[in-house]
Amino acid sequence: MINLLILPIVIPLMTAVILIFFSKKVTAQRWISAVSTAGTFVVSLILIRQIDLHGIQTLDVGSWPAPFGITLVSDMLSALLVSVTSLIAFCCVLFSFRSIGAERERFYYYPIVQFLIVGVNGAFTTGDIFNMFVFFEVMLMSSYVLLVIGGTKIQLRESITYILVNITSSALFVIAVGYLYSIVGTLNMAHISQRIAEAGQQPAILTVVAVLFLIVFGLKGAIFPLYFWLPGSYYAPPAPIMALFGALLTKVGVYSILRTYTLFFYHDQGYTHELLSILSLITIVLGSIAAIAYKDLKKIVIYNIIVAIGVITYGIGAMNTDSLSGSVFYLIHDMIIKAVLFLLAGIIISITGSSDYRKYTGLIRHYPLLGWTFFISVLALAGIPPLSGFVGKILIVTGGFSNGDLVGGLIVMMSSLFVLYSLMRVFINGFWGEASGSTKNDSVPVGRLLIPVLILVIAAISYGVFSEWANHYIAQAVEVLVNPDLYIDAVLK
Amino acid sequence: MEILMSILIGLLFASAVYLMLSKSLLRIIIGTGLLSHGAHLLLLTMAGLKKGTVPLLGEQANSYTDPIPQALILTAIVISFGVTAFFLVLAYRAYQELGTDNIDDLRGTEKND
């Protein structure tokens, strides 16, 4: 039992509280947030090292013994996600320095970002299902504020939809937890898993609860038919906020599906996991169609989120070692690369003043570095070897094939082509050719804005190239998912 | 007693859904309030409405009520209170900025952008 694993929650929380007191001193706000997110990242790396050496780390908050109090549990999966979250938050904060605008910075932008990280890291770390709901709410509350900060018309309009959807899903979350508590009589996730396993054959009521959880997390994670709110809401805020949302929020929903469907509801896979697979495949198909239908750069990237969510949840639905390691691999890859794409889209839009890629050509003549970064990240997103999307996707497809699901594997592979096409036409149309509609725009500090993007791109490239090295950690994460007893033993001793 | 409560919760949910499907923003917010009320009552009912005594009277007490659901409800009430307050302010701000509280006029169509 160590206090290390609570630090990724406490550091941003304390930073946020301190930052609130001097919201008008923008320079201090910037540097304190950057230092704090960097500190969180370093702590999470130490945590990964600790888990690598000593196995799953747990912390009984307030020293209440395990099934009675709230337990924080950090296995390799949550530690990896916490560290990626901190890295992305660090880069988005750096990006905000030159792009978000002093108005937003003076109205509590940085403290709210810190609160968002508290919620996300907390949801990844907690080992208590109701505590997960609380961290979801911390995250959502900050996301409401981030969505509406600045108060432009489109933001106000879209945030109403967003809040309404999330209030509904939170009510459903409370209901699902209530049902689960009445059946198993505990809230500790390891204990729930143990009690469900003791019941042997999963009773039908638990399948109902499993589907209810799928609806709750599907609403947050945007799987078919629950993603209708996402394209509109994510379109509204400025680039760094969009990157935080696109990279982190939906992935928390996916993580929760991954956790509950491997830890609780793995007894009736013929129903629950089959349902998840089918929904994921429909998500992939519809997301791909929408991604190639739009001519708007932001919309294209947003629909690519939905495709990626479908690919990851398909891996969860297939539920074998290959597909799960593929899902974990792809989850981390997608968090990094989606942040990169949203930040790049932000730079491109602020240079050209338009998100419609047909309105400009030849951008690469003025901004070669921007062009090549965009090119590499599109290749990585589509999964061209040796970049990072490839390993995850091939593992997911292998997992699907080994279950005998040929159609599913093919759809996942085909989706890569659609993803590649949807963004490559932006590159061909917008970056190649004679420079027109894209004169050099000196008001945008492209060089400085590219620094955080390059950090993330380098992370994504090395994640792909050194995937053998990364696999050492991913394998440990998947071991716990495949074998829930490891998790239970670590928590309940 | 549990049956009666279940019917009541069902009624709350039904009216919440009805209100949330209406076009006026204020009705929608009241609908979300009713929805979370229903969810809280459901939590209370799920744990069983025993006619016990106060939650803990020491380990030898022969009947006491499970305190966990009440702790959960307390947390959920605080959260839904905060969210409702935020939603009300947002609705007012949106009304000031956009000049309407009709959901039909708030659609993200080409005309509105």
Is residue B113 pLDDT above 80, yes or no?
no
Q: How close does chain A come to B39, measured CA to CA in Å?
A: 6
pLDDT at res. B103? 83
Distances (CA, A) of B59 to A62, A172, A182, B52: 21, 34, 22, 14
User: pLDDT class for A488, splitting at 50, 70, 90?
Assistant: very high
pLDDT digits (tens, 9 = 90+) for A296-330: 999 999 999 999 999 999 999 998 899 999 999 99
A133, A151, A160: residue with CB nearest B106: A160
Q: Residue A446 above 90 pLDDT?
A: no
Task: Indicate the pLDDT class of residue B54, thresholds 50, 70 and 90.
Answer: low
**CA dihedral for A399, A478, A250, A447, sign (positive or negative):** negative
Nearest CA in chain B to A167: B32
The answer to whether B82 contacts A163, with C-beta atoms less than 8 Å apart, is no
**Cβ neighbours of A160 in B, within 8 Å:** 25, 90-91, 94, 103, 106
Q: Which of A154, A163, A167 sits opposite B113 (nearest CB)?
A: A154
- Per the CB < 8 Å rule, is A160 touching B91? yes
The DSSP symbol for B60 reads T
HEC per residue, chain A? CCCHHHHHHHHHHHHHHHHHCCCCCHHHHHHHHHHHHHHHHHHHHHHHHHHHHHCCEEEEHHHCCCCCCCEEEECHHHHHHHHHHHHHHHHHHHHHHHHCCHHHHHCCHHHHHHHHHHHHHHHHHECEHHHHHHHHHHHHHHHHHHHHCCCCHHHHHHHHHHHHHHHHHHHHHHHHHHHHHHHHCCCEHHHHHHHHHHCCCCCHHHHHHHHHHHHHHHHHHCCCCCCCCHHHHHHCCCHHHHHHHHHHHHHHHHHHHHHHHHHCCCCCCCCHHHHHHHHHHHHHHHHHHHHHHCCEHHHHHHHHHHHHHHHHHHHHHHCCHHHHHHHHHHHHHHHHHHHHHHHHHHHHHHHHCCCEHHHCECHHHHCHHHHHHHHHHHHHHHCCCCCHHHHHHHHHHHHHHHCCCHHHHHHHHHHHHHHHHHHHHHHHHHHCCCCECCCCCCCCCHHHHHHHHHHHHHHHHHHHHCHHHHHHHHHHHHHHHHCHHHHHHHHHC
Q: Which of A175, A179, A212 to mutate to test the interface with B (most CBs of B within 10 A)?
A: A175
Chain B residue numbers touching A168 (CB-CB < 8 A): 20, 32, 35
- When pLDDT is cut at 50, 70 and 90, the band that residue A274 belongs to is very high
Report d(CA A81, CA A121) in Å as an integer: 8
Residues 207-266 of A with CB under 8 A from B: 232, 235
Contact status of A179 with chain B (Cβ, < 8 Å): yes
State the Cα–Cα distance between residues A457 and A341, nearest whole angstrom.
10
Q: Does position B106 have pLDDT exceeding 80, yes or no?
A: no
| Cross-chain residue pair A151–B93, CB shorter than 8 Å | yes
pLDDT digits (tens, 9 = 90+) for A407-421: 999 999 999 999 999
Interface check A448 vs B, CB under 8 A: no
Query: Are A167 and B32 inside 8 Å of each other by CB?
Result: yes
Nearest-Cα distance to chain B for A312, in Å, is: 29
**Average pLDDT value for residue range A342-371:** 87
Tell me the mean pLDDT in the region B70-93: 92
Helix (H, G, I), strand (E, B) or coil at B47: coil
Question: Which value does ipTM take for this structure?
Answer: 0.92
Is residue A54 over pLDDT 70? Answer: yes
The pLDDT tens digits of the residues spanning A220-266 come to: 988 988 988 998 889 989 999 999 999 999 999 999 999 999 998 88
Spell out which residues of chain B touch residue A165, defining contact as CB-CB under 8 Å: none
- pLDDT above 90 covers a percentage of chain A that reads 66
pLDDT one-digit tens code per residue, B24-47: 999 999 999 999 999 999 998 887
Q: What is the mean pLDDT of residues A113-141?
A: 95
Residue A81's pLDDT is 95
Q: In chain A, which residue's Cα lies nearest the Cα of B113?
A: A154
